Structures are given as structure tokens and as C-alpha cells.
Amino acid sequence: MSEKKVVLITGGNSGLGKIIAQNLISKGYVVYGTSRNAELPKIAGMHFLKLNITSDTETKDAINEIIKKEKRIDIIINNAGITLTGPTLGFSAEDFKNILDTNLIGPFRLLKAALSLPNKPKLVINITSLNGFLSLPNFGLYCASKFAMEGLGLALRYELGPLTKVVNVAPGALFMESAKKMPHKPAREKFPLLSWLMPLTFPEDVSVVIEKLINASSVPPRVLVGRDAYIINLMQKILPSSIFDRIVFYIWRKK
């Protein structure tokens, strides 16, 4: 059995997951990523498995395949996720079910399969979001999925610890191509001051945090990454909720 730690990260083919995976590969971890595509991606040093996280069978098969090869999975990073942006009631109930199936029930499926193994993972990292504690217009379904994931992660932390440590990592808005595709005008465009106060976070910063958590002897319930996540978390703690509410209304009503 290899001495190197074995990491399973869902996604890993693009965006944040790819950057986290590549950083861990460069530090000598054995990294398994996943993709829904039949033609699996090729990223140097990374093993890929076919996985649609909304399928029980594919989830169990992916876990079994890693166990067959590596005998264990040390770390699971629940990264795969989808976003739907636009007026919340413009989406269908089917859209809502789909996003929950990927962002919330998917990690549940994966952890159920992985935690049933005799060699249980030592660490679970859930990539949640700033939108796991800040709900915003045009992000209703996404925020609902991330708030729920924060709750699920915390419950599992207390159920599985200390043998399996669980931590939620909540990044702010990331500096990535996908941010440009939003169908509405983001708050940062309406108030350029916000871009200065709360710049987008580099995904590389998240990957550094993940690596630190993997090497830490204990992990906190939640780690924030990015200035926006810190500032908003602080504002929610120190401002009366009526004032915070007015600020959000003001920002989002401005054309």
C-alpha cells in the first residue's frame, strides 16, 4: 500500500477543483478526480473516474474502483457543484431538484458510500460558499443548496468526529471565467467600491487553505476564504439584522 495520502475530489476537471487537484498532485498526493463525461479528461498526474454524483450506482462504482487500486481513501473533497442564476421563481421545481441532487444529495451519496468502508476516510472537506451563509437575489436555488450543505457538513462533523474530521470551506466569489457568464448585473458592477473593498478571490488561495487543512492535526467547523467572505461574516455578526437587511436591499435594488 502506498504511503502517499489518497485524495478523492469530485469535479477536478475544471475551475476550482482542477486547481486544488493540481496543487495536491504537485505536493505528492495520489489524486482521483471525477467527470461526468464518458471521455475522461487528461490532466498530468491525475487519475479520473467517470462519475455523475446524482447516480447511486456510479457513486458506489467510483468508490469501489479507488479501493480496488489504493485500498483506501484518506481524504474526500466535495467540490462538484452547479450554479443557476436568475430570478428564483423563474426556475422549475425540476431545476431545483437537479441543483439539490448535485450540490447536496451528491455529497451525501458519496459520503454514505465512502463511510461504509472498513478503512474510513480521515478527513472530509466540503466546498460550500459565501452563499452558504449569505442569501442573495438571483441565487436562490444555489444559496438554498449551499445553506443546506453547511448544515449537513456540521451534522456529519459531530457524528463522524473525531475519527473522520469534517470541515466546510466557504470561499467568496472566485476570480474565474464562469463569473463573467452571469445573466444579471452583479453587485460589484453596480458599486465599483465593492470590487475594491471585496476583490474576487483567487482559486489558488482556496487550494492553499485546503492543503493546510489536510496537514492540520485538527480542523475548525468552517473556514472562510476571501475578503468578501470575511467582511460579510463580520457584518452579519456585528450589525443588527435589520441594518444588514437594508444594505442588501439597497445594493440589489440599484439598477
Ligand X SMILES: NC(=O)c1ccc[n+]([C@@H]2O[C@H](COP(=O)([O-])OP(=O)(O)OC[C@H]3O[C@@H](n4cnc5c(N)ncnc54)[C@H](OP(=O)(O)O)[C@@H]3O)[C@@H](O)[C@H]2O)c1
- Give the one residue of 36, 60, 122, 227 binding ligand X; rule: CB under 6 A: 36
Site membership for ligand X, residue 53 (CB under 6 A): yes
Count of positions on this chain that bind ligand X (CB under 6 A): 28
Among 43, 42, 62, which residue's Cα sits nearest to residue 52?
Answer: 62
Nearest CB to ligand X, comparing residues 181 and 253? 181
Site membership for ligand X, residue 223 (CB under 6 A): no
- Give the one residue of 21, 46, 49, 51 binding ligand X; rule: CB under 6 A: 51
Which parts of 127-186 interact with ligand X (CB under 6 A)? 127, 129, 171, 173-174, 176, 178-179
> What cell does 170 get?
466557504
- Give the one residue of 32, 75, 81, 124 binding ligand X; rule: CB under 6 A: 81
Among 23, 217, 21, which residue's Cα sits nearest to residue 122?
Answer: 217
Nearest CB to ligand X, comparing residues 24 and 51? 51
d(CA 114, CA 215): 21
| H-helix segments, the chain | 15-26, 56-70, 93-100, 106-114, 140-160, 187-190, 192-197, 203-215, 227-238, 241-253
Q: At 25, which amino acid appears? A: I
d(CA 208, CA 20): 8
Nearest CB to ligand X, comparing residues 81 and 121? 81
CB-count exposure of residue 142 (10 Å: 0-12, 13-18, 19+): buried
Nearest CB to ligand X, comparing residues 40 and 115? 40
Position with the least CB separation from ligand X: 15
Query: In the complex, which residues of this chain contact ligand X (CB under 6 A)?
Result: 10-11, 13-17, 34-37, 51-54, 79-82, 102, 127, 129, 171, 173-174, 176, 178-179
